[in-house]
Structure 1
Amino acid sequence: MSLKNLYLGWPDYVMLVVFLGLSSIIGIWHGCFGNKQTTTKDFLMAGGNMGMLPTAMSLFATLCSASTLLGIPVEIYYYGTMYLYFLLSWIIAAYLTSHIFIPKFRELGFISIYKYIEQRFSLTLRISVTLTFIVSLIMFMSVILYGPCLALSQVTGLDVWLAIISCGVICTFYTSIGGMKAVIWTDVVQSFIMFLGVVLSIVLGFSNAGGIKKVLEIAIAGQRIDFFNISFDPTIRYTIWTALLGGTCYALSCSSILQTQTQRYMCVDSTREAQKAIWINTFLLVLLLLLCGIVGLLIYAKYHDCDPLRAKFVSRSDQFYPLFVMETFSRFPGLTGLFIAAVMSGSLSSISSGVNSIATVIMEDIWKPLMSTRIPSDKLQTIISKYMSVVLGLLTILLAFLMSYLTNILVIVYSVTGTLAAPIFGLFLLGFFFPRVNNRSACIAYFITLVFQLWVLIGANFTLHQQPKRILPISIDGCTSLNLNNITLNTINSKSINNDNNLFLPLYSISFMWYGFNGVLLTVIIGLVCSLFCGK
């Protein structure tokens, strides 16, 4: 195996140019023709009359970021198929969201769902929640812009800064001029590209591996096929409980109280259409997660006796999939470019949705409440929203350059989202189901939980104790021309990290899959306890 023989040809670059050009054309069409996005309802809500199917595909594309495409195969490679229980979490979340949250939000009719926090509790808490959402989403967008570009660049030779700037500028361009309609229709195109890239890698992967039976034999021998881990140990990365409890809270937080998703529920013309959209979104999401799991088994079948990371063929685990594709697609000009376009689709779809949603909450939750006596005209609000989209896109590009410390982008995305979204989700549960909880109780619960969640997240990452202890067996026996002394030394050093005698290390060792569940539970419990002492 030699990375020197792997490179991008001109057909691959043609595929990338066509992909980025098509995204720009969609933005130009909706920004310069048609209704030209001249009102806030058009720019932020797609006029409120989008079709159900494109909205569903936009919901899917927003949730399925590049971290999904690159991260899930790695999780299957290292930890086996227990991750796939997470698919059930999305189905449970879809049922609860479609029957509880979508009807409620449609009834309220707010452009930003965080207006409900002010209606139920206070303006101060609304602004605090909005700022938490903004910070977490900007971090998320920076991660999914930088991480995939770096992973692709180090395997394919694609310049990382060129990739970041190209993706960031194109995304900012079509989002700022085309508004929500451009975001939704580019999401539709990007959804097709993501599926096409993954399906082709599976078909060719099975062909190269010798068939489905051969792949399963290798996976079973390597202990990668496992669906029966029912351990209650919270430090184990994936068990049935982490998926059904932690995973469901994560999926519910993403589906029900993130503005990136709820804004789309308001883009269709009825509650029934929104409910259909989330179920189609869930079907597509579960299907793609399953396909990514199959890719993980294919990658293990190919590298089961020569781990690319320990063999130093790659420097990061999220480069496994690009390496696999470069070797699998090398005989077919242009297909590697298609795969890179698929990964970029995952980034662009999530970033464009994030930029549009942040512009929405800044206008609705911060600007309007604080400038209530001087609210600008609808036309001026639209112009301001477009300029904010430009600034947010450029800020994402800038922050992406500061993300060089990243390792596993899937873990980072899950950890940050679970940490910051969980207290917000807990607030909505308190508001919807516990009328006794007042503003003071809600504020105490929210801020205590937020501080606790951040403490655990930062502590786990700075002590490196969140690093998994139960990676399934990996081998380098099939490698050739390796510096085995370096490999042994690296293994010893990585284990010595955990010899720190710290009182809080057991807390930091909890699987990141529990972050969402812990945050929601803590918010609700503190809110209910405080309500007993703070009055009704």
Structure 2
Amino acid sequence: MVGTGGPVATFSVWDYVVFAGTILGASGIGLFQAIRGRKESSNAEFLLGGRQMTAVPVAMSLTASFMSGITVIGTPAEAYRFGTAFWLFGFSYTIMSAITAEIFVPLFYRLGITSAYEYLELRFSRPIRIIGTSMYIVQTALYTGLVIYAPALALNQITGLDLWGVLVATGAVCILYCTLGGLKAVIWTDVLQMVIMLAGFVAVIARGAVLQGGLTKIWEDSDQGGRLEAFDFDPNPLKRHTFWTIVVGGSIMWVSIYSINQSQVQRYISCKTLGHAKMSLYVNMVGLWVTVSLAMFSGLTMYSIYKNCDPLTNGDIGTPDQLLPYLVMDILADFPGIPGLFVAAAYSGTLSTVSSSINALVAVTVEDFILPVCKNLTQRQTTWMNMGLSVFFGALCIGMAGVASLMGSILQAALSIFGMISGPLLGLYLSGMLFRTTNSVGGLVGMIIGLVLTLWVGIGGQIYPPTTDKTNPLSLSTIGCNSTMGQNFTTAAPWTSPVPTQPDIRPALADSWYSLSYVYLSLLGALTTIVSGLLVSMITGGCKQEKRNPDLFVKKSDLFCFSWCSKSEESEVKEKDLKDFNMGVANVSVKHADMMTTDVEKSTKL
């Protein structure tokens, strides 16, 4: 019986057919783009789609890039265990989209860059560009390996799919269409994968609503279970999720991901106009709203079904990552092919993230390391180099997935590092874009200080996880289970495998400094980098007026409101000039008429 615990069914033949069909479909898109663009094999075509992409497919690709399999599996589990506070990230997505579209996109688009880290050399120096690129490569390779491994592990234990077979297959498919089709293949494949991800959520919600007697019943169960209490206005920065941590810290975290991460920058600068590039961010914002809403409601559906028998506490599963796959096999096994659709949805998220990472890693390697040194490469050599690097980084990501399999509970720590690195990098960009005072010495020292500080807090928080009074897990029950094992598991982030157990001896910093909400790590790194960078710059001569290219800084005309006002002022001036011209013509006509009247009167008198 559904919702009462115990083993669940495994994959049927039709589930394998649907899953395999999705993989083949993704490969087919890559092959199609490779054949279609075989005569256009330039570096710009491979890395930027010839800068001819439009807003909607780019927006869907932006959404899919960071809605990975970890998100598909982890976000519903977050709603199930911690409630709907995570839904407040919708505000963060709005703020992030506006900042990225109005500040970063015009600047990058104006400079015509391919690698986001080209800006660091133009504004500061080549060594800083190399450091920034290196940080991105390490961070992305590690994160991508984890993105491959984490969903594979959870789904392997629920569906019976061979773990290493799926890992290698995932990497091989991404390598295939990234190598052959370039960015166009990645973007159009992301569009397909985004649709499949959303379809997987809809299937879970629809079936859950039928079993529970409607969406209203799911909402009522969630309310009674305390899952709908999203707004916590406590300003305490040590609490994991509050309104302030998510809206303030979350906005900066997502800005650091969308504004300077090569995977995202590479997409919106591939648009054919600045208008399309900006629009892609705003359409992406709506896509993020839809995705997080469906994911959260899937978690509420899961709570409604398991409110009296928590599979985690009952010992039916071992980690929170397995909650949604367990639910799918529990409620959808009677519909052949539908569980396969959900697995395809989770792996679509994985494929989209991996393919985006591979393409971005190739771009920064070529633009930041190879082309500045090897300037006389022919077009054919560049093409083969791009394809070879795609294979190399795909294999590297599969290798990192293998390393991740040995990490165990450090998976959460490695995922947090993604935010730790992006925060100081964002601070470096902002200090360069907004302050003419910041020089190369100040920027480098500020970034190092910010990175050391965020790594100190983040790693300390993984070794000494926050206590339950700061993470606030909600109550779960096993009174309706057929059998109770008495096991219990906890987690401290919305996307984890098992977390480390609490050490017996906790230092004084464990319940203060190390308990800082993980959402604030990017904000901490950015602010530290900006402030310390400005201070060092002032000490090292940054206040001296130097001639700098004005295109390297944010301009008032970049912002939508100012550009609209300036256009309005221009139109008003034109209208005034036209009105004055017309009045002048009218006055001349009147004078001419008066003169003609006077002449007639004189003639009459004569």
| 1:26 alignment counterpart | 29
Contact 1:3 1:155 in 2 (8 A): no
Larger Cα-atom Rg: 2
| 1:472 alignment counterpart | 474
2:123 to 120, 123, 129: 120
Contact 1:94 1:278 in 2 (8 A): yes
Q: Which amino acid aligns with 2:426?
A: F
Alignment of 1:245-256 (within 5 A): 245-256=248-259
Contact 1:43 1:178 in 2 (8 A): yes
Matched, 1:342 2:348: no
Contact 2:462 2:500 in 1 (8 A): no
Contact 1:414 1:513 in 2 (8 A): no
Distance 1:228 1:55, change over 3 A: closer
Contact 1:419 1:450 in 2 (8 A): yes
Matched, 1:161 2:164: yes
Contact 1:415 1:513 in 2 (8 A): no
- What do the CA deviations read for 1:261-308 (whole angstroms, capped 9, x no partner)? 111112111100111111111101111101101011111111122221
Farther-moved stretch of structure 1 (138-147 vs 468-477) = 468-477
The 3-state SS of whatever aligns with 2:472 is coil
1:481 to 472, 480, 483: 483
**TM norm structure 1:** 0.94
- What do the CA deviations read for 1:27-51 (whole angstroms, capped 9, x no partner)? 1222234335521011101111122
1:204 to 194, 204, 207: 207
Matched, 1:177 2:180: yes
Contact 2:11 2:339 in 1 (8 A): yes
Contact 1:460 1:466 in 2 (8 A): no
| 2:383 alignment counterpart | 382
The 3-state SS of whatever aligns with 2:404 is coil
d(CA) in 2 for partners of 1:413 and 1:499?
Answer: 23
d(CA) in 1 for partners of 2:198 and 2:271?
Answer: 24
Alignment of 1:35-434 (within 5 A): 35=38, 38-369=41-372, 371=373, 374-404=375-405, 405-406=407-408, 415-434=416-435
d(CA) in 2 for partners of 1:524 and 1:3?
Answer: 53
**TM norm structure 2:** 0.84
d(CA) in 2 for partners of 1:529 and 1:315?
Answer: 49
Following superposition, the deviation at residue 227 of structure 1 comes to 2.7
Distance 1:91 1:185, change over 3 A: same
Farther-moved stretch of structure 1 (468-477 vs 173-182) = 468-477
The 3-state SS of whatever aligns with 1:507 is coil
Contact 2:235 2:244 in 1 (8 A): yes
Following superposition, the deviation at residue 94 of structure 1 comes to 0.6
1:519 to 496, 515, 525: 525
1:532 to 531, 534, 538: 538
When the two chains are superposed, the root-mean-square deviation of aligned CA atoms in Å is 2.1
Q: Percent identity?
A: 33
Contact 1:147 1:406 in 2 (8 A): no
Contact 2:450 2:524 in 1 (8 A): no
d(CA) in 1 for partners of 2:385 and 2:293?
Answer: 41
The 3-state SS of whatever aligns with 1:85 is helix
| 1:459 alignment counterpart | 460
Distance 1:525 1:149, change over 3 A: same
Following superposition, the deviation at residue 501 of structure 1 comes to 3.1
Q: Which amino acid aligns with 1:45?
A: L
Contact 1:466 1:508 in 2 (8 A): no
d(CA) in 2 for partners of 1:176 and 1:222?
Answer: 49
Matched, 1:510 2:516: yes
The 3-state SS of whatever aligns with 1:401 is helix
Following superposition, the deviation at residue 499 of structure 1 comes to 4.1
d(CA) in 2 for partners of 1:448 and 1:76?
Answer: 35
The 3-state SS of whatever aligns with 2:443 is helix
The 3-state SS of whatever aligns with 1:508 is coil
- What do the CA deviations read for 1:234-286 (whole angstroms, capped 9, x no partner)? 22111011111110001111111111011111211110011111111110111
The 3-state SS of whatever aligns with 1:504 is helix
Following superposition, the deviation at residue 408 of structure 1 comes to 9.6
d(CA) in 2 for partners of 1:331 and 1:347?
Answer: 26
Structure 2's unaligned 5+ residue stretches are 492-498, 543-606
Following superposition, the deviation at residue 496 of structure 1 comes to 7.4
Following superposition, the deviation at residue 426 of structure 1 comes to 0.6
Contact 1:30 1:36 in 2 (8 A): no
d(CA) in 2 for partners of 1:488 and 1:395?
Answer: 32
d(CA) in 1 for partners of 2:194 and 2:419?
Answer: 25
The 3-state SS of whatever aligns with 1:435 is coil
Q: Which amino acid aligns with 1:48?
A: R
d(CA) in 2 for partners of 1:101 and 1:520?
Answer: 16
Structure 1's unaligned 5+ residue stretches are none
Distance 1:377 1:504, change over 3 A: farther
d(CA) in 2 for partners of 1:382 and 1:212?
Answer: 52
Distance 1:440 1:333, change over 3 A: same
Number of aligned residue pairs: 529
